[in-house]
């Protein structure tokens, strides 16, 4: 029993660490975008909006885990781990296409000076990857994993 409690405490500490770490990273990223993209234009608002959506997803998953923990249930189990793995695999596949699209078309589409264009593409790429991962994760956590052999 004591061992189970110790494991739970350790896991809770690890979860809290990752929650805090992602909150710090998101805040710093928001600050970096806000301060370096002055004066704010449409694309800067899009980036900051994407950041807000990411924070929303993180908060949602955090609250779900906390609710389970409060009911005395496991916040993570084999299904949640498989969903994360499946989401990561799918997100990687989509991200490759997204980067190709960004590098081929986006640079020519956005009419702003060169340094900012590169910065915007990188920012869009990073946030896009995170968003794709979180949306896929969210979708799979609602739809479930029907068949292990499914791609």
Partner 1 sequence: MKTRIKELRARDNLTQVDLARKVGVRRETIVFLEKGKYNPSLKMAYDISRVFKMKIEDVFILDQV
3 binds partner 1 (CB under 8 A): no
How many residues bind partner 1, per CB under 8 A? 18
- Rounded Cα–Cα distance for residues 4 and 14 (Å): 15
Angle between helices 42-70 and 2-36 (to 10 degrees): 170
Does 143 help bind partner 1 (rule: CB under 8 A)?
yes
User: Side-chain half-sphere of 118: how many Cα atoms within 13 Å?
Assistant: 2
Max Cα-Cα span within the chain: 63
Segment lying near partner 1 (by CB under 8 A), choices 16-24, 26-34, 55-63, 138-146 = 138-146
At its nearest, how many Å lie between partner 1 and the CB of residue 19?
A: 17
70 interacts with partner 1 by CB under 8 A: no
CB of residue 12 vs partner 1: minimum separation in angstroms? 15
CB-nearer residue toward partner 1: 113 or 148: 148
Is residue 132 a contact partner of residue 94, using CB atoms and an 8 Å limit? Answer: yes
C-alpha dihedral, 83 to 89 to 107 to 45, nearest 10°? 10
Q: Binding partner 1 by CB under 8 A: which of 42, 70, 78, 104?
A: 78
Using rule CB under 8 A, residue 146 touches partner 1: yes
């Amino acid at each position: 029993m004591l061992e189970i409690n110790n494991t739970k405490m350790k896991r809770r500490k690890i979860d809290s660490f990752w929650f805090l770490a992602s909150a710090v990273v998101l805040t710093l990223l928001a600050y970096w975008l806000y301060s370096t993209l002055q004066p704010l234009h449409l694309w800067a608002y899009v980036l900051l909006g994407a950041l807000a959506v990411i924070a929303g997803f993180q908060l949602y998953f955090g609250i779900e885990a906390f609710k389970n923990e409060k009911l005395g249930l496991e916040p993570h189990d084999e299904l949640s781990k498989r969903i994360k793995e499946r989401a990561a695999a799918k997100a990687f596949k989509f991200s490759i296409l997204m980067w190709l699209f960004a590098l081929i078309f986006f640079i020519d589409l956005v009419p702003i000076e060169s340094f900012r264009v590169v910065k915007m593409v990188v920012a869009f790429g990073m946030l896009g990857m995170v968003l794709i991962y979180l949306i896929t994760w969210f979708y799979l956590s609602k739809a479930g994993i029907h068949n292990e052999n499914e791609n």
